[in-house]
Structure 1
Amino acid sequence: MDNKMREWDSSYLNRDNFLFYPHEEVIRFTSKYIIKQVGLNEFSFVRPLSGKPNVLDVGCGIGRHVSYFHTMGFDSYGIDLSNEAIKVAREWGSNVNIPEVENRIIQGDIQNMPWGDETFDYAVSHGVFDSIYFIIAKNAFKETARILKESGLFYCDFISGDDSNHAREFWGEEVVETQHEKGTIQMYYNYSKIQELVQNDFDILELNLIRRENILSGSFHSRYHLVLRKKDK
């Protein structure tokens, strides 16, 4: 199945997805589940680890979360389909002194990632699994579970049909026709579709639907935000 690599390279060449500030839900996940600030200059890991936590950004784009995790003191890694995105992500990673950046930020298919079983303590993915065909999302989800350690945690999000143009339970797919991300896939999710995606490999710790409404225009859109824990074998 076409993974839309050409379209994503074009999108990044146009700088459609040049996002620099970490997403607020990724920051929230980090502070609640990885490291918590307990004083002005004091931090405490939420659960004991033998060394630095290592975190993978699945579909890292230009690397905003890879660099964020590095500045938090973690061993951070990223993978993305787009060669154009990875060029920028590696440059950014070099600027913030991520070691061996070409081995940590890589171009590749999230259905077949190059790391061994149970490599990572945590994984995050923002705006990725709803921008690919569902069968690819299922393969990539299973692959993310493979590279996570037992009971490893995974933050991800999905666009909901609960918006100005669809209905809450809409779960179809559309080809993007607007100039932004033109030609890529927009996959909509509802609760049943989320369950189908996660149930074999993860337990759901959090599932929140956040709606943003423009009061002036009346338009709105919504996203599901999840925190998942890899099931024990």
Structure 2
Amino acid sequence: MKPNYLVHEDIYIAAKEAGWNGWGGNQGLADAKLVSRFMALKERPSKGKLLELGCGEGHHCRTFTKLGYETTGVDISSTAIEWAKEKAVLTGIKSRFFVADLTEMSLTLTDKYQVIIDGNCLHCIIGNDRSTFLNHTYKALESDGIFFVSSLCSKDNDNHQILRDGIPYRHITSMENLITELKNIGFIILKTVLYERQDYNHITIHVRKPSEI
């Protein structure tokens, strides 16, 4: 069954109407660990153009901007992007935001980035759409650029699918399968950290796009 990625639009509309600060409620933003986990890599670029995939209301982009990066965020949810732009104005933080479906094969990302961040987005991408998503990422990354993956991960060697209203909603792959996916696109694995959790684990992976010959 084909995924309905626009379910994320419905979730952002509900979050905004509920008075939350963002996805997952106010506590979810307060506990965000993605930025510090990315910064743990010593070989990362300390500045440059940064793109966040699945940026939501822009929380991570605003933080990365404060750290000296020139940030851009993309999300399939138009409500999330409008929200991100509103917050950028309110906070006085300069960041670009745009709406796009990263599973569309015809999509062209015209800019190149030194850093691309998976804002807990990859585990929302289902089946063959994952290779399209990762190929877009690879093409948008500068040579020697860093792609940072932050994803749910299965506790066994199998792939798991979570349904929402009977429609595929989350793709939870094993650590081994995720690493294979990234290598097959052409990325070089730099650092992998697995975080044990009760139902599904979480994994972060820093990868590099090799230099052009």
Please indicate the TM-score interval, normalised by the length of the shorter structure: 0.7 to 0.9
CA distance in 1, matches of 2:140, 2:103: 11
> What is residue 174 of structure 2 aligned with on the other side?
190
Change (3 A) 1:123 1:184: same
CA distance in 1, matches of 2:63, 2:154: 30
Aligned counterparts, 1:16-165, within 5 A: 16-18=23-25, 19-21=28-30, 23-30=32-39, 32-33=41-42, 52-99=47-94, 104-111=96-103, 114-116=108-110, 119-162=112-155
Q: Secondary structure at the match of 1:115?
A: coil
Opposite residue 116 of structure 1, the aligned amino acid is: T
Write the deviation string for residues 91-144 of structure 1: whole angstroms up to 9, x where unpaired: 112222234x5xx20011124555326x11101113211112131121111111
Q: Number of residues paired by the alignment?
A: 200
CA distance in 2, matches of 1:106, 1:82: 9
Q: Secondary structure at the match of 1:133?
A: coil
CA distance in 2, matches of 1:75, 1:149: 14
Change (3 A) 1:221 1:173: closer
CA distance in 2, matches of 1:106, 1:21: 24
CA distance in 1, matches of 2:127, 2:193: 21
Q: CA deviation at 1:8?
A: 1.0
Write the deviation string for residues 16-58 of structure 1: whole angstroms up to 9, x where unpaired: 5455347324223225347xxxxxxxxxxx657xxx5111101
CA RMSD in angstroms, aligned pairs only: 2.5
> What is residue 228 of structure 1 aligned with on the other side?
207
User: Which one has a larger percent helix, Structure 1 or Structure 2?
Assistant: 2
Change (3 A) 1:3 1:77: farther
Write the deviation string for residues 160-193 of structure 1: whole angstroms up to 9, x where unpaired: 222xxxxx2221322135xxxx956111111332
Change (3 A) 1:28 1:196: closer
Q: Secondary structure at the match of 1:137?
A: helix
Q: Secondary structure at the match of 1:134?
A: coil
TM-score normalised by length of structure 1:
0.75
Q: Secondary structure at the match of 2:55?
A: coil
The share of aligned pairs that are identical, in percent, is: 19
> What is residue 176 of structure 1 aligned with on the other side?
164
Opposite residue 61 of structure 1, the aligned amino acid is: G
* Higher CA-based Rg: 1
Gaps of 5+ in 1: 35-45, 163-167, 213-218
TM-score normalised by length of structure 2:
0.82
Opposite residue 227 of structure 1, the aligned amino acid is: H
Contact 1:211/1:220, CA 8 A, preserved across alignment: no
Contact 2:124/2:170, CA 8 A, preserved across alignment: yes
Contact 1:8/1:184, CA 8 A, preserved across alignment: no
Contact 1:22/1:64, CA 8 A, preserved across alignment: no
**Higher mean Cα deviation, 15-24 or 53-62?**
15-24
CA distance in 1, matches of 2:91, 2:168: 31
Q: Secondary structure at the match of 2:128?
A: helix
